[in-house]
A = this chain, B = another copy of it.
Amino acid sequence: MRKIAIIGVGFMGGSFAKAIKMSFSTVCVWGYARSNASYYKLERLRILDKVEKNLEKLLKDADYVVLATPVYAIVEYLKKISCYLKKGTIVFDLGSSKELVEKSAKRFLPKEVDFVGCHPLCGSEKSGPQHSVSGLFKGSLCIITSSFKKKSTREVKKMWEKMGCRIVFMPAKLHDRILSSTSHLPHLVSFSLMYLVSFSFRNFSSNSLRDLTRISFSPATVWTDIFLSNQKNIVRDVEKFIRVLNKFKNFIKNKKRKKIFRLIEEINAKQKKFWKKR
């Protein structure tokens, strides 16, 4: 029986607990409750084999420690847990930006503990363990940012594959650059659009607006941390995005019909190719 300890049993951590129990019969899943409120909530939800409020007890004899909190809390827990981990424990995280987390793991974890940076590309604008789903990881991509030469990485890889993930390895730096563009910027754009649109126009909104603002319900705790921890890439991508908007705007302002038409046609073609089933 292997013991898995999850810190951060929210939507992602809760879904991980459900999925890992579905995929492996020989695991015992413990989860951390920071407060009495979350203790009783988690007890009631019956996602875990054991809910534990004491960090030391939680981590005692754990084979795997899963960090599923917002990014800066992952950093904090890497500091806090380092003294409780036994030799050979594998620590991995589910954070959405990876460079900061990997650096912190190197800095804070003892040498005899292995760290594997993971980011399963799935999620929800909903939050909390009550919304967690066992099939969340099925068919999604999981990016692993640690070296596949390590035995621990291969072990974690197998775990994700058993839960239905496809695996891609890449350096944390590249991960952060790509995700800034494919996920972090889209979230910032969605937040900004929701911020802008006048509340009094809500009766005249379309499905397009609904689709574009769905993820603007994504939790502030998670996204403040993502934006700050991937600051440089996001700032650069927002600036690039503003340049595209200005290009469009100037074409419209100067009635450049042909240029607008060609630009949209080009985008149409790219959209079709981009989302073509592979």
A interface residue numbers (CB < 8 A to B): 121-123, 141, 143, 168, 178-179, 181-183, 185-199, 201-221, 223-224, 227-228, 231, 234-235, 237-242, 244-246, 248-249, 252-253, 255, 257, 260-268, 270-275, 278
Given A188-B245, A239-B249: A209 in contact with B183 (beta carbons within 8 A): yes
Task: Give Cα distance in the complex from A264 to B194, angstroms.
Answer: 10
Known pairs A186-B206, A191-B248 / 8 extra A-B pairs, C-beta < 8 Å = A122-B207, A181-B196, A182-B204, A183-B206, A189-B212, A190-B208, A220-B260, A224-B264
Which chain B residues lie closer than 8 Å to A253 at the CB level? 231, 235
Q: Is chain A's interface secondary structure helix, strand, loop, or mixed overall? A: helix
Residue of B nearest to A268 (CB): B217
Contact between A186 and B199, CB atoms less than 8 A apart: no
Task: Give Cα distance in the complex from A141 to B263, angstroms.
Answer: 30
Residue of B nearest to A246 (CB): B242
Contact of A216 among B181, B218, B271 (CB under 8 A): B271
Task: Give Cα distance in the complex from A199 to B266, angstroms.
Answer: 13
Task: Give Cα distance in the complex from A257 to B201, angstroms.
Answer: 30
Task: Give Cα distance in the complex from A187 to B266, angstroms.
Answer: 15
Which chain B residues lie closer than 8 Å to A122 at the CB level? 206-207
Contact between B224 and A192, CB atoms less than 8 A apart: no
Contact between B195 and A274, CB atoms less than 8 A apart: no
Task: Give Cα distance in the complex from A109 to B148, angstroms.
Answer: 72
Which chain B residues lie closer than 8 Å to A185 at the CB level? 193, 196
Which chain B residues lie closer than 8 Å to A223 at the CB level? 260, 264
Contact between B257 and A210, CB atoms less than 8 A apart: no
Contact between A231 and B244, CB atoms less than 8 A apart: no
Distance of A180 from chain B, by nearest CB (Å): 10
| Interface-centre pick from A192, A215, A219 (highest chain B CB count, 10 A) | A192
Contact between B260 and A224, CB atoms less than 8 A apart: yes
Given A182-B197, A220-B261, A241-B245: A274 in contact with B141 (beta carbons within 8 A): no
Task: Give Cα distance in the complex from A184 to B98, angstroms.
Answer: 36
Contact of A194 among B121, B213, B246, B267 (CB under 8 A): B267
Contact between A182 and B209, CB atoms less than 8 A apart: yes
Which chain B residues lie closer than 8 Å to A201 at the CB level? 178, 181-182
Task: Give Cα distance in the complex from A221 to B261, angstroms.
Answer: 7
Given A206-B182, A211-B212, A249-B238: A196 in contact with B268 (beta carbons within 8 A): no
